[in-house]
């Protein structure tokens, strides 16, 4: 149950609102300032819309749109006016907020960054997208891992961004580090609709974890984003789903981290997050706790290689108009090792 979208809030409930924000077109600093004001106004709408709301979640690209423009003039820093405005909005409306920025990076391409700000205006979660949507996105691969924080009402909260959610390892990492609620912000367009839906369900069910997921919405004259706000319970049940495609609609639901904790303790069948590391515990004491997965071992060893590796056609961004990179991961634009 979603408690009628959070209207009937229970003592253990966390009410989340995901914003199907109108897709903007951003080219200048003036456009950026105007979009910042729009997001701030939508934080206020979220609070007026649902007095019980604990956390409002904006999609990836909420500030910058889908142009993939890496122009330094419109990139954002954590100490810049845009983040300051988001902090103040959370204070003014006594609400937690999740926001998206394209973060200036002096040593390479910008980072696709997500932040969660608490109701006192403090940044509690700072995440850089680990898996940019190649070959389309030019962003630097994230280097901060996946943080898990104490979110509103003490819930364990994580954030991943868009394409991250297509890798089951990402949601698994969130759950392994204790996340009871995982946010997934995105800018996806309509061709990804089915994949978006079933991965959101799978990410929840496979990890006994609530997921709150949302895309940009509407058109910027070139791209058509789909909205598709989805709040999914830990058993894979959809609690709320924005299927209308209506821009600036806020999809809400109450979720129950206490029931996540209960399921993780008491489920036997399909407690997959536990059973992954305790294979066959009915047959052998404690289950097998080895790592039988070749891809895991190879990735740790730095030797990850597919059987069809040499046949893969797209291995850089040239098909999308980007120059082939020459700088390796960990190097700055000057060829020095990153700190």
Show pLDDT as tens, one digit a residue, over the chain (339 residues). Answer: 678 899 999 999 999 999 999 999 999 999 999 999 999 999 999 999 999 999 999 999 999 999 999 999 999 999 999 999 999 999 999 999 999 999 999 999 999 999 999 999 999 999 999 999 999 999 999 999 999 999 999 999 999 999 999 999 999 999 999 999 999 999 999 999 999 999 999 999 999 999 999 999 999 999 999 999 999 999 999 999 999 899 999 999 999 999 999 999 999 999 999 999 999 999 999 999 999 999 999 999 999 999 999 999 999 999 999 999 999 999 988 655 544
C-alpha to C-alpha distance for 85 and 62, rounded to whole angstroms: 14
Give catalytic status of residue 156 as yes or no.
Answer: no
Q: Which candidate in 129, 137, 140, 155 is catalytic? A: 129
Q: How far is CA 299 from the centre of its chain?
A: 23
Give catalytic status of residue 60 as yes or no.
Answer: yes
Q: Which candidate in 90, 155, 162, 174 is catalytic? A: 162
C-alpha to C-alpha distance for 311 and 238, rounded to whole angstroms: 39
Q: What are phi and psi of 177, to 5 degrees?
A: -90, 5
Q: What is the dihedral of CA 250, 138, 175, 206, to 10 degrees?
A: 80
If 0-12 CB within 10 Å is exposed, 13-18 middle and 19+ buried, where does residue 99 land? buried
DSSP state of 25: B
Q: Are 211 and 232 in contact (CB under 8 A)?
A: yes
DSSP state of 140: P
Give catalytic status of residue 174 as yes or no.
Answer: no
Q: Are 37 and 75 in contact (CB under 8 A)?
A: no
Q: 55-57 and 14-20 as β-strands: parallel, antiparallel, unpaired?
A: parallel
Per-residue pLDDT of 125-153, as tens digits, reads 999 999 999 999 999 999 999 999 999 99
CATH code for 3-275?
3.60.110.10
Q: Which candidate in 60, 140, 180, 228 is catalytic? A: 60
> Token pair for residue 176?
């392994």
């Amino acid at each position: 149950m979603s408690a009628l979208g959070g209207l009937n809030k229970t003592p253990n409930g966390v009410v989340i609102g995901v914003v199907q924000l109108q897709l903007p077109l951003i080219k200048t600093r003036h456009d950026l300032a105007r979009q910042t004001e729009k997001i701030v106004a939508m934080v206020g709408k979220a609070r007026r819309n649902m007095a019980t709301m604990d956390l409002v979640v904006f999609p990836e690209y909420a500030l910058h749109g889908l142009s993939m423009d890496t122009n330094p003039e419109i990139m954002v820093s954590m100490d810049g006016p845009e983040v300051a405005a988001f902090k103040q909005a959370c204070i003014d409306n006594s609400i937690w907020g999740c926001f998206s920025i394209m973060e200036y990076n002096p040593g390479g391409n910008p980072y696709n960054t997500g932040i969660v700000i608490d109701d006192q205006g403090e940044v509690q979660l700072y995440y850089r997208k680990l898996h940019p949507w190649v070959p389309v996105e030019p962003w630097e691969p994230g280097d901060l891992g996946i943080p898990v924080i104490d979110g509103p009402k003490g819930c364990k909260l994580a954030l991943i961004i868009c394409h991250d959610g297509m890798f089951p390892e990402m949601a698994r990492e969130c759950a392994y580090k204790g996340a009871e609620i995982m946010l997934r912000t995105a800018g996806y367009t309509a061709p990804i609709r089915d994949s978006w839906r079933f991965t959101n369900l799978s990410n929840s069910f496979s990890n006994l974890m609530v997921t709150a997921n949302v895309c940009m919405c509407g058109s910027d004259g070139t791209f058509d984003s789909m909205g598709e706000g989805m709040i999914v319970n830990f058993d894979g049940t959809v609690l709320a789903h924005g299927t209308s495609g209506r821009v600036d609609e806020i999809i809400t639901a109450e979720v129950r981290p206490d029931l996540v904790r209960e399921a993780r303790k008491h489920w036997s069948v399909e407690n997959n997050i536990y059973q992954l590391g305790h294979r066959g515990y009915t047959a052998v004491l404690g289950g097998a706790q080895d790592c039988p997965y070749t891809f895991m071992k190879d990735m740790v060893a730095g030797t990850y290689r597919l059987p069809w590796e040499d046949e893969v056609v797209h291995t850089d961004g040239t098909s999308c108009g980007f120059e082939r990179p020459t700088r390796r991961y960990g190097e700055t634009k000057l060829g020095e090792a990153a700190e």
